[in-house]
Structure 1
Amino acid sequence: MSPAFSSAPGPTPGPGSASTTHQPNGELKRGLSMRHIQFIALGSAIGTGLFYGSSAAIQSAGPVVLIAYIIAGAAVFMVMRALGEMAVRHPVPGSFGQYAARYLGPFAGFLTGWTFVFEMIVVALADVTAFAVYMGFWFPDTPRWIWVVAVILFIAAINTRNVKVFGELEFWFSLIKVTAIIAMIVGGIVIMVLGMQISGGGATGPQNLWSHGGFAPKGAEGLLAALAVVVFAFGGVETVGITAGEATDPKRAIPRAVNTVPARILVFYVATLAIVMSLIPWNQVTGDASPFVQIFTSLGIPAAAGLLNVIVITAAISAINADTFGAGRMLFGLAQQKHAPAVFLRVSRGGVPWMTVVIMCAALGVGAVLNAIMPEDVFAVIASLATFATVWVWLMILLSHVAMRREISRHGWAESEFKMPLWPVGSWLAIGFMLLVVTLLALHESTRGSLLVGVAWLVILTVGYFTLVHGTGRDRPELHDNTATE
């Protein structure tokens, strides 16, 4: 066995084993309530992608971008239902990384787990750098690296505490974001009803959705071009599955989160952008100034820019927090399967895998330095890189679910308590959507390089697996089955 991926011997979880007893190094403790889980998913998926990334999607497609969000949202819902069925049946750390290993084979589990970690790091890099920029609004003379270090230390402190502390803080962070979005939606409606005008803009109203070149000014090509940015915006919602191993009541919490979170996110994105493009014609949304600032200013809210800065700072911290949690728990699950160094199994007395947090924060520190010296269009590069990783993870979730359903049918196992709807048609339509997005990444020059980087990443993982891992760990892991044992 390779020393780099060795692990202390421990019991292999079987059909009758407890789902929280993993390795002698320690065990994760269940402390996440239903509201924690719902807002953790919201925190990861509502952030830079909405507050700033949506501008790029609007520019690519015009008002028809709303259809892109609806289509992508439907696909995400199918992914979440597939994940939810597996998470209720097998509430384990590492979630879909272990499901891929169990139903598609150890190699697929290795690729899926490490690609999710890559996705979380890349997305968090965007928010870490953005946080430093946001703080420059109030402290323009302070070097950005100071704020980068500060937020990394803060995130490390939260994620090394008891998981209940993490869940509680993430709940309040996400609540601030959700409240701000609802306030903007309500405020936008008030502006239109009262016939007010946005500073520097013309008449407001729903007619702006079709009065500037039509609802689809750039045709089907624009709609397809926007899909990559849209998928980036929804990336991270799969973190719900990661919480299963630490949920106090996964059989109740996971289904409710899976059913409500995608719908809430879809409403937030579609309603918010519909309001934005009704107040500000789509061809005036340049991304140079946030539409949130313009709307709050028009409502007569004093210090609108400062208020928005507080909101986007909270959004950034919330997203980094959720991403660090998700990546850390995935590394813990990979280490259980001997697909990652055994050091990631070290757990504090509070039941937190603290070494995974240390590594994640170190990666953010190095990445933030590199990010600071890159060109101004770094966000677009990061978004497309994260899009490939996100689509890969979602594709593996769907394929793992298909394999699980086939095993259930073949062996006559007990039916799942939280069965995926529209099976199997919905699953295959969602899989087709993921393949379409990958194809679009290849066809567009601006994202083709990121696709090549993504493919290179998979090649590196393949070499690493067959060099360091293959033949040293377990084969397909045995997962505790909540349905089968009742």
Structure 2
Amino acid sequence: MDRLKSQTLSGSRRLGGPGRIGSTVPTRSRADALAGRRIREVPSMTTKSGDGLSRRLNGRHIRFIALGSAIGTGLFYGSSDTIAKAGPSVLIAYLIGGAAIFFVLRALGEMAVNDPAPGSFGEYARKHLGPLAGFLTGWTYAFEMVIVCVADVTALAVYMGFWFPDVPRWIWVVLTILVIAAANLVSVRVYGELEFWFTLVKVVAIVAMILGGAAILIFGLGAHSGSVTNLWSHGGWFPNGIGGFIASFALVMFAFGGTEILGLTAAESEDPRTAMPKAVNTVPVRVLLFYVATLAIIMMLNPWNTISTSGSPFVQIFAGLGLHSAATVLNIVVVTAALSAINSDIFGAGRMIYGLAQRGQAPAVMARVTRNGIPWMTVLVVAAALSLAVVLNYLLPDSAFLLIASVGTFATVWVWFMILLTHYRARRRLSPSDSAAREFPVPFWPVGQVLTMVFMVFIFVVMAFAEDTRLALVVGVVWLAVLCGLFWFHRRATASSETDAMTDAPRS
């Protein structure tokens, strides 16, 4: 806050009146004009995008970032917990959740195509809902990315235990954070290339797993062949009742967390108007292929109630079928998936904090970029924040993932709700002709948007009634309350400092 205060004193005043955290357009305050001082510009070493970031992500990068964002820890590791809660009905839950995410991404895509701004949906929330909404959305997303990243490194440590059971998990956490943070400091193109290859490995593996699983079912390969009847012969489609089905939604939605990173890539895309629509429109296919088809194969091979929650169901299934070499290969894949997710988490949190700094809602030092257009300070801060993962994996090695995933779900769903609300408000402000002229409009407007917002509220209700997620909801509410307090404290401090500056300014 002291850094923010000093930035204000230097004259980097936002539009909207004294003390208001608002537009990114810098103007000379009255006190600065009287004193003859120059406004301090946000440090930048590259101007390729006009905001310090480098536009070096091409269409291939954007498409694979979109593809990889939905294929991560939630599928490879968290899916075992969702299966345990809902049984085969989890397939229906993923279909419903996937439909909701499609509307979220279409709303975000429409705004990003028309305004590929740094900070993306945090900036959109500020413009259309006000400074407080932008502040809450931006910092909650950064919080979400850190929490999700903690879950991802936790899962990776579990995967490494497949080969090195005697090595403490926290050691893998430390090594992973150091390597991925270093990669993110090189260039945004390095990030894009890493995501491309990480995602390619995941996609090839999932397709091979689906084809291999189908071959096992059809030709009876392995120790036992499994059966399609496993989907309903062990308690039916809803073995734990409607309650179990509903309870699964918290972790189902966690699985889709991170898909909103697409909005942040727009500001560093070579051609966001072409790349964004292509990336967003692949969501339904991803959901059907990578979640529904894959989990259906898993539960056909072995009954849902025999799938352990102690590791990835992908590895467990093939190891149980006697295909130990396949289990090793799949463990390589899930490690790759975790690395991909961690790579995106650090990128997403860093870019959001950079956008916050640009509009005066984070310390000015967070807006500094390297020669290659990388906001290096934000990357370092996020990497440091991940030390929480080291502590949790040291103190709670067996229950860390579920706790972290629950907190991450609250932050994720909050951000999605704000994206939907922002888009709804933005569209309502448009004239009919302007609305019809949007380049990438959402389908089923406005019914689809309203129903999806109601669904997000439903997820919060589910978290409140489920015993293992209630604490996460409390943590989320406390987090938002703390942010509100910080916002108003900063606003008052800014107003006071500007008043002092105007009072002390020499009179002409």
TM-score by length of 1: 0.90
Q: Distance in 1 between matches of 2:389 and 2:378?
A: 16
* SS of equivalent to 2:476: helix
Amino acid at match of 1:378: A
The equivalent residue for 1:397 is: 419
User: Does 2:487 match 1:440?
Assistant: no
Unaligned stretches of 5+ in structure 1? 15-21, 474-486
User: Does 2:127 match 1:127?
Assistant: no
Residues 343-352 or 209-218, more deviating: 209-218
The equivalent residue for 2:357 is: 335
Which has the larger Rg?
Answer: 2
Contact 2:180–2:342 (8 Å) recurs in 1:
yes
After TM superposition, list the pairs within 5 Å mapping 1:189-338 onto structure 2: 189-196=214-221, 199=223, 204-288=226-310, 290-297=312-319, 301=323, 303-338=325-360
CA apart distance, 1:419: 0.5
The equivalent residue for 1:374 is: 396
Contact 2:146–2:382 (8 Å) recurs in 1:
yes
The equivalent residue for 1:481 is: none
Q: What is the root-mean-square deviation of aligned Cα atoms in Å?
A: 2.3
CA apart distance, 1:134: 2.9
Q: Distance in 1 between matches of 2:239 and 2:320?
A: 28
Residues 395-404 or 412-421, more deviating: 412-421
Q: Distance in 2 between matches of 1:45 and 1:470?
A: 41
Amino acid at match of 1:204: G
Q: Distance in 2 between matches of 1:209 and 1:151?
A: 37
User: Does 2:347 match 1:345?
Assistant: no
Contact 2:82–2:248 (8 Å) recurs in 1:
yes
Change (3 A) 1:218 1:90: same
CA deviation vs aligned residue, 1:293-331 (integer Å, no higher than 9, x gap): 354457775523322221121111110000100000000
Q: Distance in 1 between matches of 2:126 and 2:2?
A: 20
TM-score by length of 2: 0.86
Amino acid at match of 2:3: P
CA apart distance, 1:129: 2.5
The equivalent residue for 1:173 is: 198
Q: Distance in 1 between matches of 2:432 and 2:423?
A: 14
Change (3 A) 1:470 1:233: farther
Contact 1:408–1:415 (8 Å) recurs in 2:
no
CA apart distance, 1:360: 0.5
* SS of equivalent to 1:303: helix
Contact 1:121–1:364 (8 Å) recurs in 2:
yes
Q: Distance in 2 between matches of 1:471 and 1:402?
A: 32
CA apart distance, 1:141: 4.5
Q: Distance in 1 between matches of 2:260 and 2:481?
A: 24
Residues 105-114 or 33-42, more deviating: 33-42
Unaligned stretches of 5+ in structure 2? 15-22, 26-40, 46-51, 496-508
The equivalent residue for 1:464 is: 486
Change (3 A) 1:6 1:390: farther
Match of 1:147 among 149, 158, 172: 172
CA apart distance, 1:416: 1.1
Match of 1:157 among 173, 179, 182: 182
CA apart distance, 1:266: 3.9
CA deviation vs aligned residue, 1:250-288 (integer Å, no higher than 9, x gap): 000011111113531442001101111111111111224
The equivalent residue for 2:30 is: none
The equivalent residue for 1:388 is: 410
Give the % identical residues: 57
Contact 1:188–1:295 (8 Å) recurs in 2:
no
Q: Distance in 2 between matches of 1:34 and 1:276?
A: 33
* SS of equivalent to 1:408: coil
Residues 185-194 or 461-470, more deviating: 461-470
Contact 1:117–1:331 (8 Å) recurs in 2:
yes
CA apart distance, 1:66: 0.6
